[in-house]
Amino acid sequence: MHQHRPVRSRVKTVSVKREGNRWYVVLSCDEVPAEPLPPTGAIVGVDMGVAHFLTTSHGEHIANPRFLTAMADELAQAQRYLATFPKRTRQRTKHHRAAARKVAKLHAKIRRQRADFHHKTARTLITGHDVIAHEQLNTAGMTKSPAPKTDPEQPGRFLPNGAAAKAGLNRSILDAGWAQFLQILANKAESAGRLVVPVDARDTSRTCPECGHVAKGNRLTQAKFACTACGFTANADHVGATNVLNRARLVLCDVA
């Protein structure tokens, strides 16, 4: 058995799960003592993205590893081979079972790589800052497929609705795993005595941090921000992270 860490406090539940040929035992404990980290006096805002996994209000970019994209060819080949088996023979031959195990093994590898990256990135933020602010994201809503558009002039036909482009964006968002990362960040912050502040995500990339002007035209491209009112220019992701930090400070002032 490979034990992740010592068991502390009283075990309340025990869950056993299997991934491929690996078995895991998950222990849920009650009243686990926190391990607070020494204070740093630092506060940071982070902007989640797909071009960069995240950008901090300090201007630091964390690259998006794109684990699913990196293994897309190998995974597609394994899935194509699995699909060649007729339905009547599935789960009946050792070759089909081996092909299914290979696909499951690749998916499990991607999940482990993504989780490891999330844990390490969250740990870096927690270690270096007392307060971490992030956008309050609705990942499920952001990855919904666009509604079909019927053609009023041709009944039974549909107009282009950008579904293909949206599907690519959805894959990138799900590959980044924002929801899992933010949950890991919250858990680590609670254990370390840090504070995580979610803020309203609306217009964080369209608001000028210098004059406060909000306009769709402020964001010229994915990477460039240029305020149409005062002329302020900067990296768009850095602007988003700065606005997240500013909103978090307002929240903290209201709480105080």
Which residue has 């690996």 as its token pair? 22
Task: Supply the range of the domain harboring residue 57.
Answer: 10-255
- Tens digit of pLDDT for each residue in 68-108? 999 999 999 999 999 888 877 656 788 888 998 899 999 99
Say how many domains are in the chain. Answer: 1
Instruction: Encode burial over 174-192: b for 16+ CB neighbours within 10 A, e otherwise.
Output: ebbbbeebbebbbebbeeb
pLDDT of residue 30: 87
Asked whether residue 187 is assigned to any structural domain, the reply reads yes
Average pLDDT over residues 43-65: 95
Cα 57–chain centre separation: 18
pTM greater than the 0.75 cutoff = yes
Average pLDDT over residues 211-235: 93
Asked whether residue 48 is assigned to any structural domain, the reply reads yes
pLDDT of residue 215: 94
pLDDT of residue 151: 77
Asked whether residue 148 is assigned to any structural domain, the reply reads yes
Given a cut of 80, is residue 254 above it in pLDDT?
A: no
Per-residue confidence band for 230, with pLDDT thresholds at 50, 70 and 90 = very high
Per-residue confidence band for 152, with pLDDT thresholds at 50, 70 and 90 = confident
- Tens digit of pLDDT for each residue in 122-148? 999 999 999 999 999 887 777 777 777
The region of weakest confidence among 5-9, 84-88, 196-200 is 84-88
Report yes or no: 244 and 46 within 8 Å, Cβ to Cβ: yes
Per-residue confidence band for 256, with pLDDT thresholds at 50, 70 and 90 = low
Q: Is 251 exposed, middle or buried (0-12, 13-18, 19+ CB in 10 A)?
A: middle
Asked whether residue 4 is assigned to any structural domain, the reply reads no
Asked whether residue 5 is assigned to any structural domain, the reply reads no
Pick the residue with more confidence: 159 or 231?
Answer: 231
Asked whether residue 204 is assigned to any structural domain, the reply reads yes
Q: Any idea which residues carry the catalytic annotation?
A: 47, 135, 237
Instruction: Encode burial over 107-125: b for 16+ CB neighbours within 10 A, e otherwise.
Output: beebeeebeebbbebbeeb
Asked whether residue 27 is assigned to any structural domain, the reply reads yes
163-176 and 178-192 helices, crossing angle to 10°: 30
pLDDT of residue 85: 86
Asked whether residue 146 is assigned to any structural domain, the reply reads yes
